[in-house]
């Protein structure tokens, strides 16, 4: 593929850009219950205007673009007061939850190295902590120690975390809320453990940090989870989730500048300009900050409280509707507006149900079984969905009846049987079985999956992934992406 010999006129360009999204999910109708946090076109227009106003400004150098520093410091100040931090608290703007988490873990690693001489750092996370902590540990060369959660409440087992602490522990983690079941870990208890053992403690408030305080103001029973809890030393919160700002907006806060110092990377030993970065990204558009600033100030505190009221009410209705549907059951008792549910009998297959819902226009998120948790369906109750709860529950009831008694097809069992045979041939599930690209290609062909094809019916793939050991799921997904991201070669 080459650049066009002559530039393409504007109209034609936008026609072509529009064509790229022909097969995207139609999220504007509020039936996409994951991936997007849409608050409507009026706020979107403000976000776009602010974003494009600062599109080209570069947050690389605060001496050249003081506007970027001002916007960032104000966005951090809003987060500090929202999360009840004291006057010593500092923080930074990042591109998202993953970057905030990466920075919190890097800060802990470098702080432990500097203050305790730790060279083989260990990070303790409950099994419900977001995968971003595993990614951070992987990128930063840190051993991650995973502790169980209570299999009824899905909250961190603090005794297990206590037992996992060693002389090399650098950081404890708790979530408010966790993504999979949307519950708040026992933050106060983990904080006590951190204080007793002189450890740092990060609260992942990426999903819940912004909305939970509003839910509490509306009378929901939300436990304390923020910087007011003794022992919490850092916290992350995403504006680009329930602050409804465009993607690329998150905050990481630290208890004080002495700790945050370890987040900053400075380098002056090369032929070029001296580098100093607070985040992973270096040169970056000021657009996401400007858009976040504009949206937060436009909606305002009373606006968010009203949004939270609608979400809380709709979430309660959806939870009640799921519980009342024969054969379905909640997984954990969600404390925010994300809900996980599954079938409480073998009669209803969750993956077939996801496809039935998709056929009725509802896009939900599958979660695979893992250790004590069953395969389940995850959905977010977002603003445009709140007026469609009755329609959803009606469709959910009909979809459940449609799949009741149905099993994943013969093909699924055949494929699972084949893969199990291969694993056994290589010495069983515990052995390091390596899936090669050719075998994977054959399996995909048998399953009728075309790389890059649309997945209107995903139950076959989900059922197969669900049956595989997690290590093999990871290999299969890696091979799929390795095949998917191949440039057009014409
Ligand atoms: C609890 C939690 N932490 C971290 C993240 C990662 O955030 P991002 O996707 O913005 O990197 C998510 C994403 O959903 C989350 O739910």
For residue range 116-146, what is the model confidence (pLDDT) as tens digits?
Answer: 999 999 999 999 999 999 999 999 999 999 9
pLDDT of amino acid 427: 78
Q: Give the atom of ligand 1 at the shortest distance from the alpha carbon of 247.
A: 10
Contact 433, 426 (CB under 8 A): yes
Pick the CATH number of 51-294 from 3.40.50.300, 3.90.1310.10, 3.40.50.150, 3.40.640.10: 3.40.640.10
**Separation of alpha carbons 468 and 463, rounded Å:** 9
* CA-to-CA dists, residue 234 to 184, 187, 228, 253, angstroms: 16, 12, 11, 5
Length of the chain, in residues = 490
Q: Within 13 Å of residue 432, how many CA atoms lie on the same side as its CB?
A: 0
What DSSP string describes 155-200? Answer: -B-HHHHHHH--TTEEEEEEESS-TTT-----HHHHHHHHHHHT-E
Which residues are CB-neighbours of 16 under 8 A, at least 6 positions away? Answer: 8
Q: Within 13 Å of residue 78, how many CA atoms lie on the same side as its CB?
A: 23
pLDDT of amino acid 443: 87
What is the torsion angle, in degrees rounded to the nearest 10, for the CA atoms of residue 297, residue 210, residue 224 and residue 177? 180
pLDDT in tens, 440-489: 888 888 888 888 877 667 888 899 899 999 999 999 999 999 999 999 98
Q: Within 13 Å of residue 143, how many CA atoms lie on the same side as its CB?
A: 13
Which residues are CB-neighbours of 258 under 8 A, at least 6 positions away? Answer: none
Q: Pull the structure tokens for residue 270.
A: 């090369």
pLDDT of amino acid 407: 87
Q: Ligand 1 test: best mutation among 134, 180, 205, 206, most atoms within 8 Å of CB?
A: 206
Q: b vs e for 264-295, b when ≥16 Cβ sit within 10 Å of the residue's Cβ? A: eeeeeeeeeeeeebbbbeeebbbbbbbbbbbb
Question: Which 3 state secondary structure label does DSSP give 45?
Answer: helix
| Ligand 1 interacting residues, C-beta cut-off 6 A | 96-98, 130, 132, 175, 179, 204, 206-207, 238
β-bridge mates for residue 172, sequence order = 124, 201
**Separation of alpha carbons 317 and 331, rounded Å:** 16
Number of C-beta neighbours around residue 13 at 10 A = 11
pLDDT higher at 349 or 453: 349
Contact 77, 237 (CB under 8 A): no
Q: Where in the chain is the domain with CATH 3.40.640.10?
A: 51-294
Q: Give the atom of ligand 1 at the shortest distance from the alpha carbon of 98.
A: 11
**Separation of alpha carbons 218 and 306, rounded Å:** 10
Return the minimum-mean-pLDDT range out of 206-220, 235-249, 433-447.
Answer: 433-447
β-bridge mates for residue 254, sequence order = 90, 234
Q: Ligand 1 test: best mutation among 238, 243, 245, 337, most atoms within 8 Å of CB?
A: 238
pLDDT of amino acid 431: 63
Q: What are phi and psi of 242, to 5 degrees?
A: -90, 15
Q: Ligand 1 test: best mutation among 126, 131, 132, 338, most atoms within 8 Å of CB?
A: 132
For residue 490, is pLDDT > 80?
no
Q: What's the chain's average pLDDT? A: 95
* CA-to-CA dists, residue 436 to 440, 443, 461, 466, angstroms: 6, 11, 18, 19
Three-point CA angle 202, 206, 211, nearest 5° = 120
Question: Which 3 state secondary structure label does DSSP give 240?
Answer: coil
**Separation of alpha carbons 405 and 400, rounded Å:** 10
pLDDT higher at 463 or 100: 100
Distance (Å) from CA 136 to ligand 1 centroid? 13
Closest CA to 125 of 166, 168, 156, 163: 156
Distance (Å) from CA 11 to ligand 1 centroid? 37
Question: Which 3 state secondary structure label does DSSP give 341?
Answer: strand
For residue 429, is pLDDT > 70?
no
Mean predicted confidence (pLDDT) in 225-229: 98
Contact 182, 241 (CB under 8 A): no
β-bridge mates for residue 143, sequence order = 122
Residue nearest to atom 4 of ligand 1 (CA): 97
Q: Pull the structure tokens for residue 474.
A: 């990871």
Question: Which 3 state secondary structure label does DSSP give 340?
Answer: strand
For residue 236, is pLDDT > 90?
yes
């Amino acid at each position: 593929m080459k650049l066009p010999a002559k530039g393409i006129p504007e109209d034609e360009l936008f026609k072509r850009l529009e064509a790229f999204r022909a097969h995207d999910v139609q999220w504007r109708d509020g039936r996409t219950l994951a991936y997007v946090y849409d608050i409507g076109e009026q706020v979107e227009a403000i976000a776009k205007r602010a974003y494009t106003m600062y599109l080209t400004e570069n947050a690389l150098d605060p001496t050249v673009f003081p506007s970027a520093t001002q916007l960032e410091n104000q966005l951090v100040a809003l987060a500090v007061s929202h999360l009840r931090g004291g006057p010593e608290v500092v923080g930074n703007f990042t591109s998202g939850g993953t970057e905030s988490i990466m920075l919190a873990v890097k800060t802990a690693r470098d702080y432990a190295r500097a203050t305790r001489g730790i060279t083989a750092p260990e990070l303790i996370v409950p099994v419900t902590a977001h995968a971003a902590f595993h990614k951070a540990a992987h990128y930063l060369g840190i051993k991650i120690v995973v502790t169980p959660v209570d299999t009824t409440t899905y909250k961190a087992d603090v005794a297990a975390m206590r037992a996992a602490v060693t002389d090399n522990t650098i950081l404890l983690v708790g979530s408010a809320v966790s993504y999979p079941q949307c519950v708040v870990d026992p933050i106060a208890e983990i904080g006590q453990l951190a204080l007793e053992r002189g450890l740092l403690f990060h609260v992942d408030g990426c999903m819940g940090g912004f909305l939970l305080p509003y839910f509490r103001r509306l009378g929901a029973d939300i436990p304390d989870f923020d910087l007011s809890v003794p022992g919490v030393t850092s916290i992350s919160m995403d504006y680009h989730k329930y602050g409804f700002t465009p993607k690329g907006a998150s905050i990481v806060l630290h208890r004080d500048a002495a700790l945050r110092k370890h987040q900053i990377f400075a380098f002056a030993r090369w032929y070029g300009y001296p580098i100093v970065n607070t985040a992973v990204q270096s040169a970056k558009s000021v657009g996401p900050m400007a858009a976040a600033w504009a949206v937060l100030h436009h909606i305002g505190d009373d606006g968010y409280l009203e949004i939270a009221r609608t979400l809380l009410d709709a979430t309660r209705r959806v939870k009640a509707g799921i519980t009342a549907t024969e054969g379905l059951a909640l997984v954990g008792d969600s404390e925010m507006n994300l809900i996980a549910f599954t079938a409480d009998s073998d009669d209803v297959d969750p993956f077939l149900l996801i496809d039935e819902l998709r056929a009725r226009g509802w896009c939900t998120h599958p979660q695979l079984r893992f250790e004590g948790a069953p395969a389940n369906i995850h959905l977010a109750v977002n603003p445009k969905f709140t007026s469609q709860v009755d329609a959803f529950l009606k469709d959910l009831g009909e979809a459940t009846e449609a799949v009741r008694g149905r099993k994943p097809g013969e093909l699924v069992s055949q494929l699972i049987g084949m893969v199990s045979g291969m694993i056994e041939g290589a010495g069983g599930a515990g052995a390091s079985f390596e899936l090669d690209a050719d075998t994977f290609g054959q399996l995909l062909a048998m399953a009728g999956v075309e790389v890059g094809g649309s997945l209107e019916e995903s139950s076959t793939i989900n059922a197969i992934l669900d049956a595989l050991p997690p290590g093999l799921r990871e290999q299969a997904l890696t091979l799929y992406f390795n095949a998917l991201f191949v440039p057009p070669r014409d």
